[in-house]
Structure 1
Amino acid sequence: MNHPLKGVKVIELGQIIAGTYGGQVLSDLGAEVIKVETPNGDLGRIPSVAPINGESGLFLTFNRNKKSIVIDLKTDQGLKIFYDLVKKADVVIDNFRPGVLKRLKINYEVLSEINKRIIQCSVTGYGEKGEYANLPALDIIIQSITGYMAITGEPDSAPVRTGIPLADLSG
């Protein structure tokens, strides 16, 4: 298989699907993806849907081909470890709400001082600005407010969520 992104180093700060899917695609294309998890772990690890040997099928699907490290970004030691990773990285992906990166001191302005060539990609539900920017953006919420659920299912029936996390996968 051709791996066009071989040699590209990615740090992923994704939770559940929206942020992790981008990392999964990059890892499938050959990038070295290091998933950074909080001490509590990714919420996608909860084996509620399609468990495989006691593990979350969802987590296993979207985190294949990745390395993983636990870092507490709220501590000085955790920040030092993260900054050391950034020095050698090409890309940082996250799906935090606006303002979280700045509060954690891992926003682009900080990271670009550590690594001038770093590319940062933030997957947000509603963008960085606007009246919805700070609201939670779970897949079902996005499907609801966009009207997608109203056109899914049978005519004259209640709105229906799609069978896949369409909004999360659409990024």
Structure 2
Amino acid sequence: MLVLLAFIIIFHITSAALLFVATIDNAWWVGEEFFVDVWRVCVNNTNCTELDDTMQEFSTVQAVQATMILSTILCCIAFLIFVLQLFRLKQGERFVLTSIIQLMSCLCVMVAASIYTDRRKDIHDGNPQLYASTLDGSYGYSFILAWVAFAFTFISGLMYLILRKRK
């Protein structure tokens, strides 16, 4: 049982780390000489421009930013609640609250990555002078980490739902 508990804790911490990296790092859309994330656009690694309300599609960017931040916060809260429930729950009870919060984190990261997938071109068209050079690129590792974090948080949420406190 101790090995299973250690695996679940490591899995949850890995999910949180993936969410942090995907939210913070500048590699959602990459090309030869630019990096784009949900916070800024960097051309030639020196000319960085913050994504702000001067863009036409700023509400889309804000939705991605908000849901990624919310997902990360919910994942951390789920871990804290898991630790509390680990010592407070009676034997045989399930970690339902932890599971619900972790599945909400999963939903948030899925919404963020889905919005970015669907509206990426619109986000880049918001400021044609800046984004003309960023149209030829591909999804970066932060975007891929967001989808991997989605899978990890989903599996983690299901594990908590199934897990019963045993000795």
Which bracket does the TM-score occupy, shorter chain normalised? Answer: under 0.3
After TM superposition, the score normalised by the length of structure 1 is 0.23
| Larger Rg belongs to | 2
After TM superposition, the score normalised by the length of structure 2 is 0.24
Give the number of the structure whose residues are more often strand, by fraction.
Answer: 1
Bigger RCO of structures 1 and 2 (CA < 8 A, at least 6 apart): 2
